[in-house]
Homo-oligomer: A and B are copies of this chain.
Amino acid sequence: MSARLMRLTGALQAVDADVYVASQRPNQLYFVAAAEPVSDLPPVAYVLLAPPDLVIVPGAPFFFACRDHLPGVELASTEVGGSPLGADATDALVAEIRRRGYRRVVLDAVSRETEAALRKSLPGVTLTLDPAFGPRLRRPKEPGELETIRAAAAIADLGMVAAFRAAQEPRGRGVSGRDIAAEATATMLRAGAEEASLQVAVGPATAYMGTGDWVYAPRRLLQPGDMLLVDMAIKFHGYLGDQTRTVVVGDGTPEQIELIRTVQAAYRATVAAMRPGATSAELYAITTDLLEQRGWRRYFPHHISHGLGLGGDLPRVSATSDDVLQVGDTLSCEPGVYIPGLGGARFENMLYLGPDGIEELTQSPVDPVVGG
C-alpha cells in the first residue's frame, strides 16, 4: 500500500470511520493516483476509499473512460437507475455503501440537495462532512509532487515574463489588460500548462483586487503613471502555479513607489519568519504589524498564504487559521495593500519549506519594468 493510502487508513481509524468518499477532484486525483499510475483520471462522481478497497462511481458517461484507462480499479455499476447512461451517480453511491455495509462515512463536500438525499437514503449510516479531511492528508508534499510544483512555478515565471513583455511593447492603440492576459496565457499553455488564466488590473482597478479574481474594467489601456497588477493561476498536471507582480508604468509617484515597496517589505519580513513551528497567527501579525505602522492595516483584507498542490491545500496563513508550518509544506506568500484613490499592490511568490529552510520556487524578476 502506498504512503498516501497508509495515511488515509490511519486517518479513518482516528475518526472511527469505515470509508472516505471523495467527491472533489483534488481528493479523488490524489488517492486514485496513489493506487494507479494515472494523471488523467476522467471526471468521476465519487471515489470510495476504504484501503485496500478503492471503488470509483464514475457517473455516466465516464464509465467507459474509467474502464479503458484504470484497468486495475473497481468500478461501481452505473445501471442503478435503468439505462447505463441515465443512472444517477448519487443513487449508485448509495447502492455501493449499502452493498459494502459501510456504517460510518466521511465525505468531503456535496451540495445541500445531495447531502439531504444521502441522509434520507442511508438512515442507519453516520455521515460526516469534512472538507478539510482530504487537504490534511494531502499536505506533506512527496518528492515527485515537489518536482511537479517546481515545474508549475517555472511555467508561471515564463507567463509573468511574457505579460510584462506584452505590456512593454508599443502598439498603435495601446495595451490593455486583456492584451497582456492573451500573450501570457498563450505562453503558459504552449509551455505545458493544461489551464492558464491571468488577472490583470490596470490603473484604479488595482485598488479593488483585494478579494476575488474577477478583473474589473479589463479594457482600460495602460497609461504612463498607471499601477499594473498581474496575478495568475495555472495548472500543470493538476498542480497550481501562482504568482503576482505589481509595478508602476514609468517613474511613478513617491506614494506609488512606497506602496509597492511596503508590500514587498511585508513579503520579505513574513517569509523570513517561515520555519517549522511558525504559527499562522505569528506570521500574519508580521505583515499586519508592518502595515499598521504605516497606517495601512485596514487596506489589507485577505489571507497571507494558501497551500500549493492539487487544490484547496493547507497550510493557510490568515486572520482565522490555526495552522502551524511544517517541513514539506508548499505555500504562497502574498501580502497586498489596496488603497482607493492611490492603487493596489500585491506581491506573491511560491515557496517550499524544506529541511534546510524556506525556498522561493518563483524566479521571475521582482521588479519588471514597463515604460521605463
Comparing A59-67, A249-257, A269-277, the segment that makes contact with chain B is: A59-67
Q: Is A204 an interface residue (CB 8 A)?
A: yes
Q: Mark A33-45, 1 if CB is under 8 A from B, else 0.
A: 0000000101100
B185 touches A216 (CB 8 A): no
Question: How many angstroms between the C-alpha atoms of A195 and B214 in the bound complex?
Answer: 10
Interface of A is mostly: loop
Q: Is A85 an interface residue (CB 8 A)?
A: yes
B208 touches A62 (CB 8 A): yes
Residues of chain B within 8 A of A85, CB atoms compared: 210, 298-299, 301
Candidate in A183, A186, A192 with the most chain B CB atoms within 10 angstroms: A186
A221 to chain B, nearest CB (A): 13
Contact size class for A? 35 or more
Identical copies in the complex: 2
Q: Is A178 an interface residue (CB 8 A)?
A: yes
A40 touches B217 (CB 8 A): yes
Nearest neighbor of A217 in chain B, beta-carbon distance = B40
16 CB-based A-B contacts, threshold 8 Å: A42-B208, A43-B216, A59-B211, A60-B301, A61-B208, A61-B211, A62-B208, A64-B207, A64-B340, A65-B205, A84-B298, A85-B298, A178-B190, A181-B189, A182-B186, A195-B197
